[in-house]
């Protein structure tokens, strides 16, 4: 049996968050923790991070995708080619990291809608056709990880099963 990979980004593509799980998860929260009021948000964050630490594996990548795309476009590379190349590079880094940790093969991928235009690249890098986009409930895992990595990075240090690349 393979793994389920959940992808989200934050900070205008500065960070990419990935959570790998063995089963589909429903913690009872809808994705997009940034829209929840402040008092409830911290409770949700702690519950989700504790769950990731105990039952999943989390990876945060500082990708700076827009900055890389701008640099490539300055070298007379088409914008679409720059975006696709940069996304492929980040996802291949992630795939190689997961392979080195023995977290392979990835059977299904759930990604936020912003990844939909990169479907072909995602399918190619992770070698699966089971790619879903949108606001599935399992997406709360990567959404919280991306939000915390962008807004409250200091919290992640106490979770050994969440790594930063």
Number of continuous H segments (helices) and E segments (strands) in the chain: 5, 6
Residue 32 reports pLDDT greater than 80: no
Domains of the chain, start order: 3-164 (3.30.420.10)
CA–CA separation, 117 and 34 (whole Å): 23
Radius of gyration of the chain (CA): 15
The pTM (predicted TM-score) of the whole model is 0.93
Q: What is the pLDDT of residue 34?
A: 83
Average pLDDT for 38-45: 90
Q: What is the pLDDT of residue 28?
A: 82
Write the DSSP symbol of residue 18. Answer: E
In tens, the pLDDT along 68-115 reads 999 999 999 999 999 999 999 999 999 999 999 999 999 999 999 999
């Amino acid at each position: 049996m393979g793994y389920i990979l959940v992808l989200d980004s934050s900070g205008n593509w500065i960070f990419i968050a990935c959570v790998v799980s063995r089963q589909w998860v429903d913690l009872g929260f809808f994705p997009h923790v940034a829209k929840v009021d402040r008092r409830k948000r911290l409770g949700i964050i702690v519950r989700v991070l504790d769950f990731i630490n105990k039952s999943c594996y989390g990876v945060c990548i500082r990708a700076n995708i827009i900055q890389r795309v701008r640099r490539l476009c300055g070298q007379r590379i088409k914008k679409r080619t720059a975006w696709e190349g940069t996304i492929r590079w980040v996802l291949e880094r992630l795939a190689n990291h997961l392979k080195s940790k023995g977290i392979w093969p990835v059977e299904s991928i759930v990604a936020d809608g912003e990844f939909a235009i990169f479907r072909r690249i995602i399918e190619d890098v992770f070698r699966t056709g089971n790619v879903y986009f949108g606001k599935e409930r399992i997406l709360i895992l990567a959404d919280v990880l991306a939000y915390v990595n962008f807004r409250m990075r200091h919290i992640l240090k106490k979770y050994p099963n969440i790594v930063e690349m």
